[in-house]
Every structure is written in C-alpha cells, then in structure tokens.
Amino acid sequence: MMAARSLASLSLTFGLVSIPVKLYTATDSGSTVRFNLLSKDGSRLKQQYVSEQTREVVPREEMVKGYEFEKDQFVIFSPDELKALEEGASHIVEIVSFVPEKGVDPIYYDKTYFIAPDKRGGKPYSLLRAAMAKTGQCAIAKWASKGKSHMVQIRPIEGGLVFQQLLFADEVRSIDELHVEDVAVSEAEMKLAIQLIEQASADHYDASEYRDEEKERVLAAIDAKIAGKEIISQEPVEISPSGQVIDLVEALKKSLSTGKRSAAASKTATAKTPAAEPPAPRKSAKRTTATVAAIPKRAKKA
C-alpha cells in the first residue's frame, strides 16, 4: 500500500494554541468501476474543446478563463490574476466554537478528510483529541481555500481527528419544499413499529459488515464479457401498483416474524460454521482470442 500523501499543511488554532497539522483525504473514489469512451474500432476517444463561433478546435494553450457577469458577457482573467485570487487562501483553520458531537446535523456533511499532527504538533494534537473525546464535544472551525470560505467540524475518533467539511445553510434545501403529509398512526401500529426497530437494532454501524454488491455484480459481468460471454439483462423487480390498500398492522406482524426467523437462522449458521476466511483477491477472467483481437495494440512511446 502506498504511503498517504498530504493535501495541505495547515495550522489549527484555538485561543493562543496553534497546532501544525497535515490534511489527508479520508475516502477513496479510485475503487469505482469506470468505463472509457471508445470508437467502434476500440480506440480511445480524445476530448476536445470547440469554439461556438468558429466551430474550430481550440488548443489548450490558447484557452483562457472568464466569469459570466451577464448573459454571454464575460470578463477575462489572466493566469496571474487567477493565481492572485487563489492566494487569498489561508493555512489557518480557526476554531470558533465547541458543540456536542451530535450537534451537527449530518445533512450538512460535505467532504471528509483526516488531519494528523505535523512537526512539533504531537502533544497539542493529542491533548485536543483527548479533551474533545472526554467531553463529548467537537470543534467548529472556519477555513479559506481556493476562493471560498469553508466551515468544518473537527471530531475525535479512535486514533486521530476527522476534518469534516460542512455545507452552508443556503447549500442545503429544505424538506418543507416537498410538503410531506403528516398522517396519524394508531397505537397498535406504533407499538409494532417500535418492536420491529428494536429487533433490528445494533450498537453502531459497522461498515465492514457490508459490501458493494452492485459493484461485485458489475465486475462479474465484465469478467464474463472479457471471457466472451454475452451480458443478459436481469428481470425487472416487480413493484406493487400504486393505490394498493395495505393492512399496515398485518405487514408489521409479518415483518417481525420474518425477522425473528432470520435472526435464529443466522445464529445457528454462525454456531455451526467456522470463521470465514477473508475473500481472495479478485482475478480477472481470461480474455478470449476474439476479445483481444478487437482491442487495438498501443503504440510504443518513443
């Protein structure tokens, strides 16, 4: 595994305390299955930019950036001017308040990062993490980067601190726009629903217990295609017609009984089955001669 590379060097401040830290990405989008655009002969396609007026291809060295202040009216910025705008970014992350860790609605969560202590930042970093963990608090801070101000939540986890970029209020839509109808429910329905929730309750969300089944299905289909097999569309899932009258109490009772049987079967299987071995690394299927022939060979670089 490659060593983590920091995205930026920052200074986390609160009061007179300043903690030098490094910013790291916390998520990995590289595992997403991606398809390339190709021509019918199997060669890669190259993206080009075309002028709306001349319909000619514009080379990258002749491109400039502009801001549209009115319809089809642009003010052009030179590379030096764009650089001057970005230089307004600050390496200071200023903590402005502390709130309970549950005091930030996850709907405001944007990008997630990690921060780790930089040189001479180990002790104050550890102190801040331990103090927030003990008090159940998280920090709210502000930070300027790439021409935009950001609000961030800094929260402690086992082993370090999470740097959670937050959305502003005007970036989150209100659910009131949907005009959701508030329908009354009976005590019997509420009691059964609570039992169903308690039956399926867990102490926390363990991401390792789940896997991307859709990604596995797509990769299996890709391997089958490489091996020369045809990809066949699956049967569509039937959805109950709208307007169908459902006995909610009866449906809840059936859900409870089904959940109990599933839990019992799971416990029995766990008791009989030895610990599962970790999944073997995925191996791509062998390509058929016809498939390989359809893919043009890359020319060697000079």
Give 289-301 pLDDT, tens digit per residue: 445 444 444 444 4
Torsion angle of alpha carbons 107, 108, 114, 118, nearest 10°?
Answer: -160
Q: Rounded to 5 degrees, what angle do the CA atoms 216, 219, 221 make?
A: 110
Beta strand 148-157 pairing with 160-166: antiparallel
Task: For 191-237, write each residue's pLDDT tens digit.
Answer: 988 988 888 888 888 888 888 888 888 888 888 888 888 887 777 66
Q: Count how many Cα atoms sit within 13 Å of the Cα of residue 84 in the half-sphere of its side chain.
A: 5
Q: Is 18 helix (H, G, I), strand (E, B) or coil?
A: strand
Mean pLDDT of 169-176: 93
Residue type for position 128: L
Label residue 125 exposed, middle or buried (CB < 10 Å: 0-12, 13-18, 19+): buried
β-bridge mates for residue 161, sequence order = 115, 156
Task: For 128-138, write each residue's pLDDT tens digit.
Answer: 999 999 999 99
88: pLDDT strictly greater than 60: no
The domains of the chain, with CATH numbers, are 8-27+86-171 (2.40.290.10)
CA distances from 45 to 6, 39, 56, 162, 297 (A): 33, 6, 18, 40, 15
Torsion angle of alpha carbons 69, 72, 75, 79, nearest 10°?
Answer: 120
Radius of gyration, alpha carbons of the chain: 27
Mean pLDDT across the chain? 81
Expressed in percent and rounded to 5, the helix, strand and coil fractions of the chain are 30, 25, 45
In 10 A of CB 113, how many CB atoms? 18
Residue 287 structure tokens: 């390509």
Alpha-carbon distance 101 to 19, whole Å? Answer: 21
Q: Which of 86, 87, 147, 91 is nearest to 115 (CA)?
A: 91
Residue type for position 143: W
The confidence score (pLDDT) of residue 290 equals 46
The confidence score (pLDDT) of residue 100 equals 96
254: pLDDT strictly greater than 60: yes
Alpha-carbon distance 92 to 11, whole Å? Answer: 5
**Which string of b and e fits 21-46 if b means at least 16 CB within 10 Å?**
bbbbeeeeeeeeeeeeeeeeeeeeee
CA distances from 74 to 12, 57, 68, 199, 261 (A): 38, 20, 4, 60, 66
The predicted model scores a pTM of 0.67
CA 248 to chain centre: 35
The confidence score (pLDDT) of residue 213 equals 83
Residue type for position 287: R
